[in-house]
Amino acid sequence: DAKTTQPTSMDCAEGRAANLPCNHSTISGNEYVYWYRQIHSQGPQYIIHGLKNNETNEMASLIITEDRKSSTLILPHATLRDTAVYYCIVRAAGGSQGNLIFGKGTKLSVKP
Amino acid sequence: GAVVSQHPSWVICKSGTSVKIECRSLDFQATTMFWYRQFPKQSLMLMATSNEGSKATYEQGVEKDKFLINHASLTLSTLTVTSAHPEDSSFYICSAGGGPLYGYTFGSGTRLTVV
């Protein structure tokens, strides 16, 4: 699986958009980009995933660059409850189910 | 959506005793479940892959005789920490789901403290 690089931490003002970057320059053609978050002392929560097109759901938007070497997770209106560690994971799809490999992630602090 | 229930949420046990943690998929069947461990201020580390009806696959450095995994049905996997010691104190998390195309669902985690 391709390796990802994320900033260690970020701050965001409540109500503003939070833009979390992720670099995955060695991503392969069949690998998806997944985003999860972990609120303190809880299990990770799935947010969104994509292959090459931008994706949006009720939680967030995922913007993937045309060369797929980087992506940005966007929380459009961050709230205090969005304070968490956000993980960007690259994983191949298809075949047998496999585990997710977590890096250090980005600790997002949403401030009032 | 898919729900994974993990029990207990927290447990305190004496050194030398065994502790069992349950992971259940509530509204779907999971032939494969994953067990992770997370130490304070660190990321999740995969311990083992639990396969229904067969032996679990352990990651390098994880003692299979210490961390017993049983996946006897399509909705239940258990992790038993045998002869627990204080260094086993950690946050244990299980996951299951529809596979890479649909994202994985995680349990709420179990905080184990060995005293």
B61: left (phi > 0), else alpha (psi -120 to 50), else beta?
Answer: left
The fraction of chain B above a pLDDT of 70, given in percent, is 94
What is the pLDDT, as a whole number, of residue B16? 97
Read off the tokens for B41: 């201020």
> A36 and B101 in contact (C-beta within 8 Å)?
no
Residue B93's contacts (CB-CB under 8 Å, 6 or more residues apart) are: A43, A44, B6, B35, B36, B37, B38, B44, B106, B107, B109, B110
Higher-pLDDT residue of B101 and B49 is B49
Scanning B43-102 for CB atoms below 8 A from A yields 43-46, 49, 91, 93, 95, 97, 99-101
Q: Are A4 and A23 in contact (CB under 8 A)?
A: yes
User: By three-state DSSP, how is residue B86 classified?
Assistant: helix
Q: Indicate the residue of A34, A43, A98 with minimum beta-carbon distance to B107.
A: A43
Q: Do A100 and B6 count as a contact with CB atoms less than 8 A apart?
A: no
Band of residue A2 on the pLDDT scale cut at 50, 70, 90: low
- Largest Cα–Cα distance of chain B, in whole Å? 41
What is the predicted pLDDT for the residue at A94?
54
Asked if A38 and B92 count as a contact pair (C-beta separation under 8 A), the reply is no
Which chain A residues contact residue B4 at CB under 8 A? Answer: 43
The predicted model gives A98-102 an average pLDDT of 77
Answer whether B35's CB lies under 8 Å from B50's CB: yes
pLDDT in the model for residue B2: 79
pLDDT above 50 (res A95): no
B15-24 pLDDT tens trace: 999 999 999 9
Task: Give the chain B residue whose CA is nearest to the CA of A104.
Answer: B43
Task: Note the pLDDT of residue B24.
Answer: 94
Q: With an 8 Å Cβ cutoff, are B43 and A42 in contact?
A: no
A103 near B CB under 8 A: yes
Closest CA to A7 of A76, A85, A80: A85
Instruction: Give the whole-angstrom CA distance, residue A102 versus residue A104.
Output: 7
Average pLDDT score over residue span B89-110: 83
Count each helix (H run) and each strand (E run) in chain B, helices first: 0, 11
User: What's the pLDDT tens digit per position in B20-64?
Assistant: 999 999 888 888 899 999 999 899 999 999 888 889 999 999 999
Task: Give residues with Cβ within 8 angstroms of A58, minimum separation 6.
Answer: none
Q: How many CB atoms lie within 10 A of CB B57?
A: 16
Tell me the pLDDT tens digit for each residue of A6-38: 999 999 999 999 999 999 999 988 888 999 999
On the question of pLDDT at B86 being above 70, the answer is yes
What residues in A contact B103, CB-CB < 8 Å? 34, 46, 49
Backbone angles phi, psi at A80, to 5 degrees: -60, -30
Q: Do A98 and B104 touch (CB under 8 A)?
A: no
Calculate mean pLDDT across residues A62-72.
97
Question: Residue B95 pLDDT > 70, yes or no?
Answer: yes
Q: What's the confidence (pLDDT) of residue B98? A: 57
Residue B99 pLDDT > 80: no
Tell me which residue in B43, B109, B111 faces A102 most closely, judged by beta carbons. Answer: B43
Bridge partners, residue B49, by sequence: B34, B57
